[in-house]
Amino acid sequence: VALMLWTLAGAALALFLFRRASGASLPVSAIFLFIWGGLRDFGGLLVHAWPFSQINEGRGWSEFWMAPGGLVDLHWLPQHMLPGWICAALVLHAARTASLPLAAATLALSLLWSPFVSVGLAPFVALQAWRQRIPWLAAAVACLPVLFLVARMDRIPTGLIYHFIDWPAHWPAYVHLLLLEWGLLVLLALPLTGLLPNRWSLLSAALLALLPLYKAGLHNDLATNAARVPLAFLFIAVAARLAGQGEPLSNSRRAALAFLVVLGSTDSLRWAYASLAQYQSAPPRVEQVRRVPQQSALPQYNTQYLGDPNAFFFRFLAAPAAVLTPKPVDIDYLSRRLTLSNSTAGFGDVETLSGATVRWAYGPEATLLFHEPTASSVSLQFAFSSPLPAQTVTVLLNGRELGLYPAAVASTLDFTLPAGPSQLIFKTTAWNGNPSSFSPTDARPLAILFSRLHLAARSQP
């Protein structure tokens, strides 16, 4: 809930700042902030000759970046999308009012939010400092992206893009990227004179052309997120043109711009439709989202902080607030508290019997489902009994037998859960109705009754 409220507050602030910076109406501002995602569908058809089968595939239609923008971006990367819009609008206001302290403060604070956005912001702050005749500050700010890039980011794929792709085969996709993501929109809105500070349009276009040529991160994280700032400036200018600022637009060009904006919104609208179609008010399928928030603790999802921790950039400019590590496994399957970690199949509800908390497992199989971000050493403490004296219980992990138990037992199993999906199965030989019924009025295939079932990370010696 806190994360949702934070995102909504940031989105509202970004919308307010965009509208103030562009002079556009609220609907037009909202479209550019949250709906427009570039002509991704057309890019996919040109490059892959096939439409996208999955709702999240549009962002990665090219090999050069995970295209920023749109509702899918707000869903997956609000921690970069929101600072991109907010910081860009603040720095633009600082340039228009010649308030260099505001620009410098925005840049400094952005380092604590999204260093990638800071890299995209730095050239514009440096240009403003240069124009206000403070060359030493301009030079210092211009060094910021350099410090970031030389911080020995050798733990992730980093370097010029031709080291990672077949450039002769992919250069057409690069041209398509420049045109479809922002180029056609800007060309239709030209000239942008007076809508942005002098030469900011050229600087924005140059950065957007250069950033995709340098890869940093598994998903081209640097290009994707540093590009948010120049994209924001160009979109503010285009929205201002639609609002009637600058040289008058002919009706045909205004109609063409509006049509292009509609086409660039199809990816977001398709994503919204697919998401609503899959929406359910009931709790999600836990086996698919178990401990999902902890995925953010894995290195590949924290690209902006990877590198030499002793490098100047990470020590003094943008050190992470804390080291992120996945939480240890700790699941009580007899707890009445619903958690995303509690994923089962073939189990009954938690019940109270003679003052004790118990839970039935059904025959022929009762399953605990896991999806671990990394391999985990765990201990399973369990105690169960069965009203069927001939009962035999086999415990299997991903098909491998861990133990064979009689009708009543209290024991502990130590094993390793591999990364990815796993199944721990309690396989029973008898249950209510097979071969006989011990509770004829109960139609459930009751097999064994757990009085304890607790999984926890195993302490290392």
Where are the domains positioned within the chain?
A: 2-284, 330-457
Share the mean pLDDT of the chain.
84
More confident call, 342 vs 423: 423
What's residue 340's pLDDT?
Answer: 46
Instruction: Give the type of residue at 204.
Output: S
Given a contact cutoff of 8 angstroms between Cβ atoms, the answer to whether 302 and 318 are in contact is no
* Mean pLDDT to the nearest integer, 419-447: 91
Under the banding of pLDDT at 50, 70 and 90, the label for residue 238 is: very high
| 32-60 residue pLDDT tens | 999 988 888 787 777 766 555 556 666 77
More confident call, 438 vs 276: 438
Contacts for 48 with CB less than 8 Å, ≥ 6 apart: 61
φ/ψ of residue 322, rounded to 5 = -160, 155
Say yes or no to pLDDT of 142 above 50: yes
What the block records as the tokens of 313 is 């950039």
Contacts for 452 with CB less than 8 Å, ≥ 6 apart: 334, 381, 382, 383, 410
What's residue 307's pLDDT?
Answer: 67
What's residue 288's pLDDT?
Answer: 44
Say yes or no to pLDDT of 81 above 50: yes
Predicted model pTM? 0.69
Alpha helices in 179-306 (DSSP H): 184-189, 200-210, 221-226, 228-242, 251-263, 266-278, 286-289
* Mean pLDDT to the nearest integer, 10-30: 94
| 239-287 residue pLDDT tens | 999 998 988 889 999 999 999 988 888 888 888 887 777 666 665 554 4
Sign of CA dihedral 444, 446, 449, 454: negative
* Of the candidate ranges 26-40, 308-322, 395-409, 423-437, the one whose mean pLDDT is the lowest: 308-322
Instruction: Give the type of residue at 126.
Output: A
| 349-405 residue pLDDT tens | 899 988 899 999 999 999 998 877 678 899 999 999 999 989 999 999 999 999 999
What's residue 290's pLDDT?
Answer: 47
| 213-226 residue pLDDT tens | 988 877 788 888 99
* Mean pLDDT to the nearest integer, 312-337: 72
What's residue 155's pLDDT?
Answer: 61
| Alpha carbon of residue 25 to chain centroid | 29
What's residue 188's pLDDT?
Answer: 92
The CATH number for 330-457, chosen from 2.60.120, 1.10.4190, 3.20.20, 3.40.50, is 2.60.120
What's residue 161's pLDDT?
Answer: 86
* Mean pLDDT to the nearest integer, 342-354: 86
For the chain, percent of residues with pLDDT exceeding 90: 43
| 96-118 residue pLDDT tens | 999 999 999 999 889 888 888 99
110/102 Cα distance (integer angstroms): 12
Under the banding of pLDDT at 50, 70 and 90, the label for residue 455 is: very high
* Mean pLDDT to the nearest integer, 224-234: 94
